[in-house]
Amino acid sequence: IFRRRAVPLLGEGGNDPLVQNIADKPPGYTQFASLLNLTQRIKMARLRISIFLTFLHFGHTFSSVGLDASEMPTMGTSEEPTPAPAAPRRREKPITLEDILPDDPMLYDKMAPPKVEDHPTIVRFHVTVMSLDSIDESSMTFVADIFFAQSWQDYRLQMPENMTGDYRLLPVQWLNDIWRPDSFFKNAKKVTFQEMTIPNHYVWIYNDTTILYMVKLNLLLSCVMNFKTYPHDTQSCSMQIESLSHTTDDLVFLWDPQIPLVVDRIELPQLDLVNNVTGDCSQSYSTGNFTCLEVIFTLKRRLGYYIFHTYIPTCLIVIMSWISFWIKPEAVPARVTLGVTSLLTLSTQHANSQKSLPPVSYIKAIDVFMSTCTIFVFFSLMEYALINVILGDFVDSDRSMIKSSFRSMTKRLSTKFRRSKNKTRKNSCMSDGGQSASELEDAEAVVAATAAANTAKYRLRADHQTCRRRAICVDRVSRVLFPFLFGVFNAGYWIVYMFVYVDEALTI
């Protein structure tokens, strides 16, 4: 491309039509032809310079990206340039346990914590709570799924020379040959290590010889619960982490200063997680003071289930017992059956409300409500007993008096009737067909007995009406008094357990 091509000049060569026709041209045409030839030479020089500069630019571009001359695209081809192969990634050389342990084994004791100038070793903790479930009031336990991380610095270890990153993943089995914190869950009844699909734990070592151990656990924890305000209660359950064999002179547990605790969004069927805090639970024993950390979960019970399954049915049973106040006093079977049925149903309801709770010796809020409702049903049954007494005293006394008068009158009449019958037989022949004096006396006795019976009957009816009015008056008073007292009790109950005890629980 860069080879120079000969270009004939004007006036040279016999084949140039301009030269052949010069003779035919007028004078002065020779100067014009020379000027035209010079212009063509300048244009050709410019073209050559531009082509040279273009190829010089392409050559500089390809050389900057590291292409060889053989890899440069040729003119007139549509093939793309072949990229250079990537350099292989440098891999770290595997390390062994001997690479991080001191050269002299006597300088490392895996049973002794790495203390610096007699200062206690500090272990920092981080906990991620993924779920809280299986809260059992009868056994006072709950289940927690957590990620448990603890980190500490062991200055006695040495870093391998081929470690280039900020940290390195180590085999978990190495923890058996180096010192590790003796932390355990103080209030745990059962700890389950997760192994699906692989063992859920790992160990990192950082450049400053800090070791991080992370593990996923399932914990069955005990929780001391107080049911005095059940089901309006607020429970505080904790997860405590304590050192087993090292006192605070050798080992101190601290929460991670940046993110000590992470709690995922947790939904429980009967409880709300209203708060969670971290704290210190270090405690002194006969062997010394041992470091301890704790996470406190504040759980408030939801009332929706208990309102629809305990409170509303119980109130309806109490109201049902008041129907007897509108039944007439003489309907003894109806009123007694209604009262006894309400009392037995309420007793069953009270027993069902205690199924999920342990037997405790103190009085609970649900006991106050159910016992008071039972008292209301019992007094509604006693109210009918009072009405029955009011009706029965006067009626029974009048009936007994009437029966005794009828007996005495019947006895007298029967005696007189026998005497008059005997006299009638003796004087039958002497009689002239008229009535004797004894017959008249018997008739008068019958009339007197009938009048006395009617009088007693009217008096019994009057006394019965009086007693019935008194019984109805008692029913009318009960129709107002029982609902009023029950409403006052409910108002006081809900105010006390919804506001007073709630404020005290939150303050504690």
Question: Residue 306 carries which side chain, given as an amino acid letter?
Answer: Y
pLDDT tier at 106 (50, 70, 90 boundaries)? confident
Concatenated DSSP letters of 120-182: PEEEEEEEEEEEEEEEETTTTEEEEEEEEEEEEE-TTS---TT--SSEEEE-GGGGGTS----
The distance in angstroms from the start CA to the end CA of the chain is 95
User: Does residue 41 fall inside a structural domain?
Assistant: no
User: Does residue 23 fall inside a structural domain?
Assistant: no
What is the b/e burial string over 3-26, where b = at least 16 CB atoms within 10 angstroms of the residue's CB? Answer: eeeeeebbeeeeeeebbeeeeeee
Farthest CA pair distance, the chain? 217
User: Does residue 402 fall inside a structural domain?
Assistant: yes
pLDDT at residue 141 is higher than 70: yes
Confidence (pLDDT) at 24: 52
Phi/psi at 276 (5° precision): -150, 130
Q: 341 and 257 share a domain?
A: no
Q: 238 and 317 share a domain?
A: no
Mean pLDDT of the chain: 80
User: Does residue 58 fall inside a structural domain?
Assistant: no
Q: 252 and 278 share a domain?
A: yes
Determine the Cα–Cα distance for residues 329 and 112; give it in Å rounded to an integer: 88
Reduced to 3 states, what is the DSSP secondary structure of residue 260? coil
pLDDT at residue 127 is higher than 90: yes
**CA-derived radius of gyration, the chain:** 57
Q: 275 and 340 share a domain?
A: no
For 375-388, the pLDDT digits (tens) are 999 999 999 889 88
User: Does residue 473 fall inside a structural domain?
Assistant: yes
484-to-322, 479, 481 alpha-carbon distances in Å: 12, 9, 5
Residue after which a domain boundary falls, among 286, 302, 318: 302
Lowest mean pLDDT among 197-211, 256-270, 430-444, 489-503: 430-444
CA angle 220, 223, 225 (to 5 degrees): 145
Q: Which of 273, 230, 20, 30 is nearest to 129 (CA)?
A: 273
Q: 105 and 239 share a domain?
A: yes
Residue after which a domain boundary falls, among 269, 302, 335: 302
Which residue in the block uniquely carries the two structure tokens 């050709």? Answer: 44
pLDDT tier at 75 (50, 70, 90 boundaries)? very low
Q: 347 and 465 share a domain?
A: yes
Average pLDDT over residues 187-207: 93
Percentage of the chain beyond pLDDT 90 is 49
For 399-431, the pLDDT digits (tens) are 555 556 556 656 655 665 555 555 555 555 444
pLDDT tier at 18 (50, 70, 90 boundaries)? very low
The CATH code of the domain that includes 330 is: 1.20.58.390
pLDDT at residue 275 is higher than 90: yes
Q: 270 and 389 share a domain?
A: no
pTM of the model: 0.68
Average pLDDT over residues 223-239: 95
Reduced to 3 states, what is the DSSP secondary structure of residue 504? helix
pLDDT at residue 356 is higher than 60: yes
Determine the Cα–Cα distance for residues 306 and 498; give it in Å rounded to an integer: 14
User: Does residue 18 fall inside a structural domain?
Assistant: no
Q: Which of 207, 176, 179, 167 is nearest to 115 (CA)?
A: 179
Question: Residue 303 carries which side chain, given as an amino acid letter?
Answer: L
Confidence (pLDDT) at 419: 55
Determine the Cα–Cα distance for residues 271 and 236; give it in Å rounded to an integer: 12
Higher pLDDT, 55 or 45: 45
User: Does residue 86 fall inside a structural domain?
Assistant: no
Q: 277 and 318 share a domain?
A: no
The CATH code of the domain that includes 127 is: 2.70.170.10
Task: Residue 364: give the domain boundaries.
Answer: 306-418+437-507
Q: 280 and 357 share a domain?
A: no
Q: 297 and 314 share a domain?
A: no
Percentage of the chain beyond pLDDT 70 is 69
Lowest mean pLDDT among 60-69, 81-90, 320-329, 497-506: 60-69
User: Does residue 381 fall inside a structural domain?
Assistant: yes
Determine the Cα–Cα distance for residues 125 and 213; give it in Å rounded to an integer: 10
Confidence (pLDDT) at 68: 44
Reduced to 3 states, what is the DSSP secondary structure of residue 139? coil
Higher pLDDT, 493 or 76: 493
Determine the Cα–Cα distance for residues 322 and 482; give it in Å rounded to an integer: 8
Higher pLDDT, 34 or 473: 473
Residue after which a domain boundary falls, among 302, 325, 340: 302
Determine the Cα–Cα distance for residues 455 and 273; give it in Å rounded to an integer: 79
Confidence (pLDDT) at 40: 72
Q: 296 and 153 share a domain?
A: yes
Higher pLDDT, 14 or 391: 391
Determine the Cα–Cα distance for residues 298 and 235; give it in Å rounded to an integer: 6
Q: 461 and 389 share a domain?
A: yes
Domain count, the chain: 2
Find the helix or strand (DSSP H, E) in which 33 lies.
helix 29-64
Determine the Cα–Cα distance for residues 150 and 256; give it in Å rounded to an integer: 9
